[in-house]
């Protein structure tokens, strides 16, 4: 097996570190927001002020890191990844970063290779997003159950319910889950359309073929931009051996189908 080289991997490390940091800050802010409700019972004003100041600092840092990650780091890395995709597809070095054996198909640099590369990307992405979504669904169920219990318990302070509701419907829980589900759906749709395209061996030299590949390439990039999230490297590594074998079977099936059309 040829060694896979991807020098873009190093750019994803800061994103992962910030994702971890923002999640920790989110949990701390959630705990502090609940603690503030009960500061009136604290005898020492200094302790009360300290909790409130810590809460403000945590929220500010969390907001800054989230914005930096979503609107700068992730788009910057995805821009490099897009250049790498186009470089491999057309044999043009749009970036100085070295990537070898990142994509696995037999097409020479061409529009068809771009389509097959996007097909491969969407195949892996839809499976990784599905696994991420499954974990998030379990989290959402647990959070929702706790929220319902708090709502149903008559003695629960209304202010506490409001804070729990705010936490539950925040960007780190519901919105993040929606983004993953939308990205999974978009990748599944793009994969199905490209699979049909190659299965029917539509010529990439016709206006229909050109428009189809460019439309799906654009849809793939727009879906990633809209989601503005990093897919889990841990889940990717867990699924990679199985998905690689499945991709080889898919690629071989489409290659055989294409060969039979030309016989």
pLDDT of the residue at 88? 92
Q: What is the pLDDT of residue 183?
A: 97
Q: Is the pLDDT of residue 193 over 50?
A: yes
Longest dimension (CA), the chain: 87
**β-pair partners for 99:** 6
- Residue 226 has a pLDDT of 94
pLDDT tens-digit profile of 107-163? 999 999 999 999 999 999 999 999 999 999 998 888 888 888 877 877 777 777 788
pTM: 0.89
pLDDT of residue 73: 95
Question: Residue 2 — pLDDT band, cuts 50, 70, 90?
Answer: low
Span 3-59, pLDDT tens digits:
666 778 888 999 999 999 999 999 999 889 888 888 777 777 788 889 989 999 999
Q: To 10 degrees, what angle do helices 111-152 and 74-90 make?
A: 150
In this prediction, residue 227 carries a pLDDT of: 93
**In this model, does residue 192 exceed pLDDT 60?**
yes
Dihedral, CA of residue 243, residue 255, residue 209 and residue 90, to nearest 10: 70
pLDDT tens for 115-126 read 999 999 999 999
The whole-angstrom separation of Cα 72 and Cα 170 is 21
Is the pLDDT reported for residue 262 higher than 80? no
Return the pLDDT at 109.
Answer: 93
* Per-position DSSP letters for 18-40, written without gaps between them: HHHHHHHHHHHHHHHHHHHHTGG
For 56-69, what is each residue's pLDDT tens digit?
A: 999 999 999 999 99
Q: Which two tokens stand for residue 2?
A: 């040829």
E strands in the chain? 5-6, 99-100
The pLDDT-based confidence of 100 (bands split at 50, 70, 90) is: confident
Residue 96 pLDDT more than 70? yes
pLDDT in tens, 215-261: 999 999 999 999 999 999 899 999 999 999 999 999 999 988 776 65
pLDDT value, residue 173? 84
Q: 1 pLDDT band (50/70/90 cuts)?
A: very low
Report, as an integer, the average pLDDT of 61-80: 94
> For 202-219, what is the mean pLDDT?
93
pLDDT number for residue 171: 66
């Amino acid at each position: 097996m040829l060694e896979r080289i991807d020098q873009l991997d190093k750019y994803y490390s800061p994103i992962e570190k910030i994702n971890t940091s923002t999640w920790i800050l989110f949990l701390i802010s959630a705990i502090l927001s609940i603690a503030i409700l009960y500061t009136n019972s604290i005898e020492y004003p200094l302790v009360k002020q300290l909790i409130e100041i810590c809460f403000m600092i945590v929220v500010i840092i969390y907001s800054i890191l989230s914005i930096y990650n979503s609107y700068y780091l992730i788009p910057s890395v995805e821009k490099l990844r897009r250049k790498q995709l186009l470089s491999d597809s057309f044999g043009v070095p749009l970036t100085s970063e070295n990537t070898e054996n990142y994509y696995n198909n037999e097409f020479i640099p061409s529009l068809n290779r771009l389509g097959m590369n996007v097909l491969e990307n969407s195949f892996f992405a839809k499976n990784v997003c599905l696994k991420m979504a499954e974990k998030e669904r379990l989290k959402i169920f647990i959070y929702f159950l706790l929220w319902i219990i708090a709502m149903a318990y008559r003695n629960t302070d209304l202010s506490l319910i409001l804070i729990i509701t705010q936490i539950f419907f925040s960007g780190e829980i519901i919105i993040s889950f929606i983004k993953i589900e939308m990205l999974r759906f978009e990748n599944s749709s793009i994969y199905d359309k490209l699979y049909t395209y190659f299965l029917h061996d539509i010529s990439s030299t016709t206006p229909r073929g050109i428009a189809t590949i460019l439309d799906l390439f654009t849809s793939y990039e727009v879906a990633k931009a809209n989601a503005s999230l990093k897919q889990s490297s841990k889940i990717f590594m867990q699924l990679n051996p199985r998905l690689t074998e499945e991709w080889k079977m898919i690629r071989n099936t489409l290659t055989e189908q294409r060969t039979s059309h030309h016989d």
